[in-house]
A = this chain, B = another copy of it.
Amino acid sequence: MQTQHVSMRRSGTATYATGQETAQRILAEARRLLMEEGHGKLTMRRIAKAAGMSPGNLSYYYSTRADLLADLLQHVIDGYIEQLQSVRDQVSDDAQAQFRSVLAFVFDDLATRETTLFFPELWALANRDDWIAQQMEKMYAQYRAVLVEVIDLINPSLAAARKADLALMICASIEGHTVFVGHGRPHRARGPQLRDLLIDHFLELVKQSGGSCEVQRTRSP
């Protein structure tokens, strides 16, 4: 919308080893700053200082703040995707156990300082910037793809659209808890209880859910 993002954001080609390292350092420090101070304080100067370089040199790597922000987001999001996939690869055989452990991982992660601070910033940013919204959706799509696979293992008879809806609802519901039981949030102490309550309940829903994704006001008899 407002900002035009190109896929190649870094202008310093970072062909030498030192340049590569510097590029990594920039993203790492920017990530740290974003988490610890919020995106309002994520200024070029601060990033440059944190990465031990001059503002001039930072703008050699990223000529605009928007470019840096774009790469940073990719960087952070990639990290989450990796984490999620490694979790999924670890658990095995039992479909329900997989379901539980994937959701438990996400729920527990949401209470980390990093995630609690980062995601609300991301959500707010996605409201103003299409590119960010797009990257965010990509990330969540991958997350939901994992969920759909596990749901399919548990209840293959469900319609595809139903599975997608269930995954979306589960994902959204869990994300919503960030604001309430996240790091430093008022109901953090209820986190574990809510996590188990939510997971149990969603598991039941997946198991018993009918084959249609049509609205079903009543499910009785």
A interface with B by C-beta (< 8 Å): 37-40, 116-117, 120-121, 123-128, 133, 137, 140, 165-166, 168-169, 171-181, 184-187, 190, 192-194, 196-198, 200-201, 204-205, 213, 215-217, 219
Cα–Cα distance between A168 and B187 once the two chains are bound (Å): 9
List 18 interface pairs A-B (beta carbons < 8 Å), by A numbering: A38-B124, A38-B127, A120-B123, A124-B124, A133-B186, A140-B180, A165-B190, A166-B197, A168-B180, A168-B190, A168-B194, A169-B197, A172-B173, A172-B176, A172-B177, A172-B180, A175-B176, A193-B215
Cα–Cα distance between A117 and B67 once the two chains are bound (Å): 24
Q: Are A215 and B192 in contact (CB under 8 A)?
A: yes
- Note all chain B residues with C-beta closer than 8 A to A180: 140, 168, 171-172, 175
Q: Are A40 and B217 in contact (CB under 8 A)?
A: no
* CB of A80 to closest CB in B, whole Å: 15
Known: A124-B123, A197-B169, A198-B169. A179 touches B190 (CB 8 A): no
Q: Are B120 and A124 in contact (CB under 8 A)?
A: yes
Q: Are A196 and B215 in contact (CB under 8 A)?
A: yes
Cα–Cα distance between A121 and B125 once the two chains are bound (Å): 9
- Note all chain B residues with C-beta closer than 8 A to A121: 124, 127
Cα–Cα distance between A165 and B169 once the two chains are bound (Å): 19
* Complex: chain B residue closest to A40, CB-CB: B40
Cα–Cα distance between A192 and B216 once the two chains are bound (Å): 12
Known: A165-B193, A197-B165, A201-B205. A38 touches B128 (CB 8 A): yes
Inter-chain pairs besides A172-B194, A174-B176, A196-B217, 20 sampled, C-beta below 8 Å: A37-B128, A38-B124, A38-B127, A38-B128, A40-B128, A116-B127, A120-B127, A124-B124, A165-B197, A166-B197, A168-B180, A169-B197, A172-B173, A172-B176, A173-B174, A175-B179, A176-B176, A176-B177, A196-B216, A204-B219
- Note all chain B residues with C-beta closer than 8 A to A193: 165, 213, 215
Q: Which 5 A-B pairs have the closest CB atoms?
A: A176-B176, A173-B173, A120-B123, A120-B124, A175-B176
